[in-house]
Structure 1
């Protein structure tokens, strides 16, 4: 994304719409709307769990041993997703959720414009439905 298209850092919630629009222009939609909605919801929740510790139990394969009292890296109170898109991940059964987010770390330092990509693989159930499963970060 060209820096000239983005709002200045620290602009807060006011700049989030411009970031979302820039992401959408840079990577045109290429997934069915239902898949995109499912991936965005999962991606936002997974990022929140990773950053704040809230909800890690939902993904034991991504956060093994998360019940051992691991301190979260970011404050749940000062965390927000600024923008997010879900796109194909190179193959029909792969997708990536691009997230731009803001948060305050344990030391209280707040910054926005953080970028995270989360990868998902589509799996089929025995009933013919499919779901998107997050892949552990390496």
Structure 2
């Protein structure tokens, strides 16, 4: 579980924009120290960012049919692609052998309201192929 951030990792005021993203990343790193091998962390962060983008904007949902079974059914995305960004992200060990990708992001909803500091967590389990190769598999959100 994340620890309380130190005073050195203070969050920027809401609405700071991209200029505050480094401080958000620093606060996450201080609050929840790394505990995964670097290769796993990179793989999980890339997948977590892709999943968040697919979830928020609708782009790329077909790549994740186990997570987005409704992909291709014409559902309108909740957020536009032009005003969406990941402010910070970490990948850490979760419970029960899982991993969690914790993302802080900003975006404008369909009504045009832009909000930063949104939080999304994606959980992954490690799967091993018959040939012994392992990969992280995203879990559907409940």
**TM-score of the superposition, structure 2-length normalised?**
0.93
CA RMSD, aligned part only?
1.1
* Matches for 1:105-116 after TM superposition, within 5 Å: 105-116=109-120
Give the gaps of 5 or more residues in structure 1: none
Shift of 1:107: 0.4
Q: Which runs of 4+ in 1 moved over 4 A?
A: none
Residue 69 of structure 1 corresponds to 74
> How many residues were matched structurally?
136
Residue 29 of structure 1 corresponds to 34
2-structure distance, mates of 1:65, 1:51? 14
Give the gaps of 5 or more residues in structure 2: none
1:126 has 2:130 as partner: yes
Shift of 1:65: 2.2
Residues 49-92 of structure 1, C-alpha deviation per residue, up to 9 Å, x if partnerless? 0000000000001000211100000001100000000000123x
2-structure distance, mates of 1:52, 1:105? 10
Residue 135 of structure 1 corresponds to 139
Shift of 1:129: 1.2
1:98 has 2:102 as partner: yes
